[in-house]
Amino acid sequence: MKTRITELFGIEHPIIQGGMHFVGFAEMAAAVSQAGGLGIITALTQGSPENLAREIARCRQMTGKPFGVNLTFLPALTPPDYPGYIEAIVDGGVKIVETAGNNPQQWLPMLKEAGIKVIHKCTSVRHSLKAESIGCDAVSVDGFECGGHPGEDDVPNFILLPRAAEELEIPFVASGGMADGRSLVAALALGAEGMNMGTRFMATKEAPIHDNVKQALVAASELDTRLIMRPLRNTERVLKNAAVERLIAKEKELGAKITFKDIVAEVGGVYPRIMKQGEMDAGAWSCGMVAGLIHDIPTVKELIDRIMREAEEIIASRLTRMAKAA
């Protein structure tokens, strides 16, 4: 399947594995790229530019196909060594970067000078247009369904994607609620040039996370996510668990008075305990509503091949049959 995204990134299938904290290691990225999609290493998960350089080199040993690096720009009193991370990306020969979080404008010159293509994660049309105006090559449009941070506008993809298609000139992919061939065909019909999957890729054999996490995704329904940190205007969609219920109770009790310090036990530094050790109630972790569409734990190649097979069947058979009937 050829789209503007496959052409831009030199990949076989219009499927991207987005950056995910303590999931985006070389094993994950290489498996997706090797299967024809675009795998992404998560830079900040590595902890330092030196570790990122080693992870890029490790991924390069696993696949000769294109892969990218996610670089999330976070507000912090002591910010990460972003110049160091970018240097590791450039020196590692990576040609695709997924940016997220704050406006990446100040870092774009360093990336562009190295011939790197940039796709920025956005949760609204206005942010997508801003990304286009500062020189991003593509955007990932994240609807309200997505795991992680869906923004504060609460616009689902059936509205957000066609609105993005009306306004943008650069290509974009759909993120949030993407799981299978139906998702891909729907995203293409609404104007996207491909899709970005996070939660769905966590439930694969190659995902370097504890099996407890994968089994939780299979067991979950579309009703099992919760929105937290809304009072802090840092909304995150997570899978419900005991820690999340405690956090929500604090939000109800404290209301507008709540601060990050009040919930740090539920959200601060919990990912290693969950993703590596399988402590499912250790804290809140990002999960999309798409969990309701996850019923198995295939290999990445099996998943991508199935998605493309389903998509082609829907386009060539079901939709064509309906069009002919008309």
For the chain, give every domain's residue range.
4-208
Rounded distance, CA 323 to CA 60, Å?
45
* Least reliable range by pLDDT among 64-78, 83-97, 117-131, 231-245: 64-78
Helix (H, G, I), strand (E, B) or coil at 140: strand
Flag whether pLDDT at 90 surpasses 90.
yes
Q: Report pLDDT for 259.
A: 96
Which helix or strand (DSSP H or E) is residue 195 part of? strand 195-197
Q: Report pLDDT for 115.
A: 98
Residue 325: Cβ within 10 Å count: 6
Nearest by Cα to 43 from 55, 33, 59 = 55
Average pLDDT score over residue span 177-201? 98
Q: Report pLDDT for 326.
A: 64
Helix axes 181-189, 300-313, angle to 10 degrees: 50
Average pLDDT score over residue span 69-96? 95
Q: Out of 3.20.20.70, 3.40.50.2000, 3.30.360.10, 3.40.640.10, which CATH number does the structure's domain 4-208 have?
A: 3.20.20.70
At residue 275's C-alpha, the angle toward residues 59 and 251, to 5°, is 130
Please give the model's pTM, rounded to 2 decimal places.
0.96
Rounded distance, CA 23 to CA 198, Å?
9
